Amino acid sequence: MLGFFKGIATAMITPFTKDGVNLLEFGRMIEYQIEGGTDALVVLGTTGEPATMTEAEKTATIQYAVEKARGRIKIIVGAGSNDTAKAVAAAKRAEALGADGILAVTPYYNKCTQSGLYNYYEAICSAVNIPVIAYNVPSRTAVNILPETVERLSYIPNMAGIKEASGNMAQVCETMRRIRGKMELYSGEDFLNLPMLAIGGAGLISVTSNIAPALVKKMYDLVQENKLAEANEVQDFLLPLEDACFLEVNPIPIKAAYNMLGFDAGTPRSPLTELEKKTKEILLNAMKKAGLKTI
């Protein structure tokens, strides 16, 4: 399935208070993304810490995002699990609440086979009518979707694409060769955004765009205009900021960065911790060098 979305999608954080999700602040963040030119938002992806959220919190967050967006920007909801039945139920809920699409991470911990991966995504796609994007991130799941499996998935009618975060460009190139013209490729590694776009990627799902949406979108637009030299300049400018955003486990740095911009992002939920003081200084310096207005 081609054409679900092109451009940049931000892997949104979820701002928490001690009592739950700070929906009003989440709304401010959504408006910041829209103003920055973001094309889609991923809600309840890894960066949103859904593993620490109750089902009621997830439902409220999805519903709020859809209502706040009011069709101005696509809302893609994270709905993966290590239990196929739970992933299917989450996808159905997201569709019922008005999501435009689903981002489904590979099953984690169970370490299924390639056949198991295909069956998992086929079950999710069969359960909903909206587009589904697979998410390959072996560093977190210990499971890798091989290019031949992605090719099999590309024939499922509502399988819209794959978010590739394996970090293996040889694998990514082979995947792109196999799915070109059938399914979209999205970069899931901020460091590799430009090369993935250059081989034909339709867009990127970014953590850094939480705080610098306009800069990330500028790099994307330059690639689309075939201005690769200028796109490289923007990517070179962004790289120190991207490095700083991953000095500790995501989303620890990016939540701290939102707070430095003047948002009330709160702190990560346990077992994640607040950003270390030394790391915070590096991140703040990188944000200032990138031209972001900090408090």
pLDDT tens-place string over residues 19-74: 999 999 999 999 999 999 999 999 999 999 999 999 999 999 999 999 999 999 99
User: What is the total count of domains within the chain?
Assistant: 1
- Distance CA(87)–CA(73), nearest Å, equals 24
Helices 23-35/55-69 angle, 10° precision: 40
Instruction: Indicate if 163 belongs to the active site.
Output: yes
Question: Is residue 34, in this structure, part of any structural domain at all?
Answer: yes
| pLDDT, position 240 | 95
Question: What's the angle, vertex CA 29, arms to CA 108 and CA 138, rounded to 5?
Answer: 20
Question: Is residue 274, in this structure, part of any structural domain at all?
Answer: no
- The whole-number average pLDDT for the span 66-93 is 95
Question: Is residue 184, in this structure, part of any structural domain at all?
Answer: yes
Q: Provide the terminal-to-terminal Cα distance of the chain, rounded to the nearest Å.
A: 44
Helices 213-224/228-244 angle, 10° precision: 150
- pLDDT level of residue 157 (50, 70, 90 thresholds): very high
| pLDDT, position 141 | 86
- Distance CA(241)–CA(260), nearest Å, equals 14
* CATH, residue 52: 3.20.20.70
Residues in the chain: 295
Among residues 187, 194, 206, the alpha carbon closest in space to that of 231 is found at 194
Question: Is residue 69, in this structure, part of any structural domain at all?
Answer: yes
Question: Is residue 278, in this structure, part of any structural domain at all?
Answer: no
Label residue 142 left, alpha or beta by phi (over 0 means left) and psi (-120 to 50 means alpha): left
> Which of 68, 74, 163, 217 is labelled catalytic?
163
Task: Please compute, for residue 270, the number of CA atoms within 13 A of its CA located in the half-sphere on the CB side.
Answer: 1
- pLDDT level of residue 269 (50, 70, 90 thresholds): very high
Question: Is residue 194, in this structure, part of any structural domain at all?
Answer: yes
The pair of structure tokens assigned to 258 is 């939102």
Question: Is residue 292, in this structure, part of any structural domain at all?
Answer: no
CB count within 10 Å of CB 140 equals: 14
Task: Give the model confidence (pLDDT) of 203-232 as tens digits.
Answer: 999 999 999 999 999 999 999 999 999 999
Chain-centre distance for alpha carbon 294: 24
Beta strands, E only, the chain = 7-11, 16-17, 20-21, 40-43, 74-78, 101-105, 132-136, 159-164, 184-187, 203-206
Instruction: Indicate if 135 belongs to the active site.
Output: yes
According to the 3-state scheme, what is the secondary structure of 5-36? CCEEEEECCCCEECCEECHHHHHHHHHHHHHC
| pLDDT, position 110 | 87
Question: Is residue 215, in this structure, part of any structural domain at all?
Answer: yes
- pLDDT level of residue 237 (50, 70, 90 thresholds): very high
Cα–Cα distances in Å, from 234 out to 6, 214, 254? 19, 11, 20
Look up the pTM and report it.
0.93
- The whole-number average pLDDT for the span 3-23 is 95
The average confidence (pLDDT) of the chain is 95
Question: Buried b / exposed e across 30-52, counting CB within 10 Å, b at 16+?
Answer: bebbbebbbbbbbbbbbbbbbee
- Cβ contacts of 285 within 8 Å, gap of 6 or more: 244
> Which of 32, 120, 121, 135 is labelled catalytic?
135
| pLDDT, position 1 | 80
Domain that includes residue 150, residue range? 7-225
| pLDDT, position 37 | 94
| pLDDT, position 159 | 97
